[in-house]
Amino acid sequence: MKIRCLVVDDEPLGRDRVVTLLKMIEDAEVIGECETGNEAIRAISERSPDLVFLDVRMPGLDGFEVLAALPATAVPAVIFVTAHDDYAIKAFEVHAQDYLLKPFDRKRFFEAFSHAASRIRSARPAAELDRRLTLLEEIERNRSLPSRLPIRSGGRVSFLPVEEIDWIEAADNYVRIHAGGKVHILRQTLQKMEDSLPPNHFIRIHRSTIVNVTRISEIVSWFSGEYMVKLEDGTKVYSSRQYRERLRALME
Among residues 143, 167, 182, the one where a domain terminates is: 143
Is residue 8 domain-shared with residue 73, that is, in the same domain? yes
Is residue 74 domain-shared with residue 155, that is, in the same domain? no
- Cα distance between residue 240 and residue 205, in whole Å: 6
CATH number of the domain to which 241 belongs: 2.40.50.1020
Is residue 7 domain-shared with residue 128, that is, in the same domain? yes
CATH number of the domain to which 19 belongs: 3.40.50.2300
- Cα distance between residue 243 and residue 209, in whole Å: 10
Is residue 77 domain-shared with residue 60, that is, in the same domain? yes
Is residue 135 domain-shared with residue 213, that is, in the same domain? no
Closest CA to 213 of 197, 196, 195: 197
Is residue 139 domain-shared with residue 242, that is, in the same domain? no
Contact between 175 and 193 (Cβ < 8 Å)? yes
What is the structure's pLDDT at 93?
46
Per-residue pLDDT tens digits for 149-176: 888 777 678 888 888 999 999 988 899 9
Is residue 115 domain-shared with residue 33, that is, in the same domain? yes
What is the structure's pLDDT at 96?
67
Is residue 204 domain-shared with residue 237, that is, in the same domain? yes
Supply the range of the domain harboring residue 35.
3-143
Is residue 176 domain-shared with residue 112, that is, in the same domain? no
Among residues 143, 158, 189, the one where a domain terminates is: 143
Whole-model pTM above 0.75? no
Among residues 124, 143, 162, the one where a domain terminates is: 143
Low-confidence ranges of the chain (pLDDT < 70): 84-96, 123-146, 155, 200, 252
Sheet hosting strand 77-82, strand order edge to edge = 28-34, 3-8, 51-55, 77-82, 98-101
